[in-house]
A and B are shown apart, each in its own frame.
Chain A
Amino acid sequence: MTYEPGDRIRVVPAGKPGHVRTPSYLRGKSGWVEAVIGPFPNPEDLAYGLSGLPARNLYKVGFKQVDLWDDYEGQAEDILYADVYEHWLEPGEGGTA
């Protein structure tokens, strides 16, 4: 499934061993697609000498900091952006950020 800017998403809450480009602090967290960066060979396969093909779509994903950390010190508007591959995303709750 592909996503558009503004789509609500959730980061897949799975664990995966080995070389992974989605940090654990984002797993299971909800945010939105800020931008579509484009397709890249999957780095999680490239790391093991594989082709990384088919290429995976990479998205710039936004999260409200207060949704990531219970004790966040800062503004409610503060945002964390991370670049997340499509296979780590699933549709989230409706609406846009």
Chain B
Amino acid sequence: MSEHHPHEETARSPYAARIRAIEALLLEKDVLTEPEVQDRISYMEARSPANGAKLVARAWLDDDFNELLLSDGKAAASALGMDPEHPAEFVVVENTPTIHNLIVCTLCSCYPRAILGRPPDWYKSFEYRSRAVREPRAVMREFGFEPPEEVEVLVHDSTADVRYMVLPMRPSGTEELGEQELARLVTRDTLVGVSVPLAPDHPIPADA
């Protein structure tokens, strides 16, 4: 294979090679056009956990927005300029001092892609999918977080036409922070519920 071949990365993974072959066939048979493929790539690349962090930070600062986010997730996303259009519903569940939420899709890898983009690889793993419903506290412990014993753990298995995101609790000591600073404390894993936001004195992570 030439060093400058545009699909050089196909050498790295049999899955990538297979996808490239399927893509080439779909184009050759006029099932898809090149612009359609590019549109889809742009769609996914325009979405990231930063959208979720932005929704969370605004909800922490604005009670009306908090209420909107919990009652109509798509309307809240639209209000911040995101494009939440997707056939599935988008529902946000709220952590409180007595409730901690965890999201999983045991059947496949349902995830609010219209808002957050692609799920993390571990979210699609057989291990996470099978264990998150059966031993959620052990799974969270392995991610470095354990809800206090008296907190109820609610697991949401996204089995059908609803995609879930967690609204975590605002960390203490963040009263002086603005929206962008708050958003940087909200990691991708926080939005699935396997973790909680960073403490305000945590070193700021590099942009993902």
Binding site for B on A (CB under 8 A): 20-23, 25, 37, 40, 43, 58, 60, 65, 68-69, 72-75, 77-85
Task: Find out whether the CB atom of B159 lies under 8 angstroms from the CB atom of A23.
Answer: yes
With A74-B137, A79-B152 known to touch, is A25 a contact of B106 (CB < 8 Å)? yes
With A75-B149, A77-B152 known to touch, is A83 a contact of B158 (CB < 8 Å)? yes
A68-B133, A80-B133 given; 9 more Cβ-contact pairs under 8 Å: A20-B107, A23-B106, A23-B157, A75-B153, A77-B152, A78-B154, A78-B155, A81-B155, A85-B160
Task: Find out whether the CB atom of A84 lies under 8 angstroms from the CB atom of B133.
Answer: no
Task: Find out whether the CB atom of B156 lies under 8 angstroms from the CB atom of A81.
Answer: yes
Task: Find out whether the CB atom of A83 lies under 8 angstroms from the CB atom of B161.
Answer: yes
Task: Find out whether the CB atom of B134 lies under 8 angstroms from the CB atom of A69.
Answer: yes
Interface string of B153-187 (1 = CB under 8 A from A): 11111111110000000000000000000000000
Could you name 24 residue pairs across A and B whose Cβ atoms are closer than 8 Å?
A: A23-B107, A23-B157, A37-B89, A37-B161, A58-B160, A65-B153, A65-B155, A72-B134, A72-B135, A73-B135, A73-B138, A74-B137, A74-B153, A75-B151, A77-B152, A79-B152, A80-B154, A81-B156, A82-B156, A82-B159, A83-B157, A83-B158, A83-B159, A84-B160
Task: Find out whether the CB atom of B152 lies under 8 angstroms from the CB atom of A84.
Answer: no
Let me know if B112 is at the binding interface, CB within 8 A.
no
- Partner of B161 from the list A43, A74, A78 (CB cut-off 8 Å) is A43
Q: How many chain B residues touch the partner (CB < 8 A)?
A: 23
Alpha-carbon distance A78/B107, docked complex (angstroms) = 21
Residue of B nearest to A83 (CB): B160
Q: Which residues of B contact A74 (CB under 8 A)?
A: 135-137, 153
Alpha-carbon distance A74/B150, docked complex (angstroms) = 9
Task: Find out whether the CB atom of B155 lies under 8 angstroms from the CB atom of A25.
Answer: no
Binding site for A on B (CB under 8 A): 89, 106-107, 133-138, 149-162
Q: Which residues of A contact B107 (CB under 8 A)?
A: 20-21, 23
Alpha-carbon distance A92/B52, docked complex (angstroms) = 38
> Which of B89, B135, B156, B161 is most buried by chain A, counting CB atoms within 10 A of its CB?
B161
- Partner of A78 from the list B136, B138, B157 (CB cut-off 8 Å) is B136
Q: Which residues of B contact A37 (CB under 8 A)?
A: 89, 160-162
Q: Which residues of A contact B135 (CB under 8 A)?
A: 72-74
Q: Which residues of A contact B138 (CB under 8 A)?
A: 73
Residue of B nearest to A81 (CB): B156
Alpha-carbon distance A22/B157, docked complex (angstroms) = 10
Task: Find out whether the CB atom of A80 lies under 8 angstroms from the CB atom of B155.
Answer: yes
> Which of B133, B152, B154, B159 is most buried by chain A, counting CB atoms within 10 A of its CB?
B159
Task: Find out whether the CB atom of A22 lies under 8 angstroms from the CB atom of B133.
Answer: no
Smallest CB separation, A79 vs chain B (Å): 5
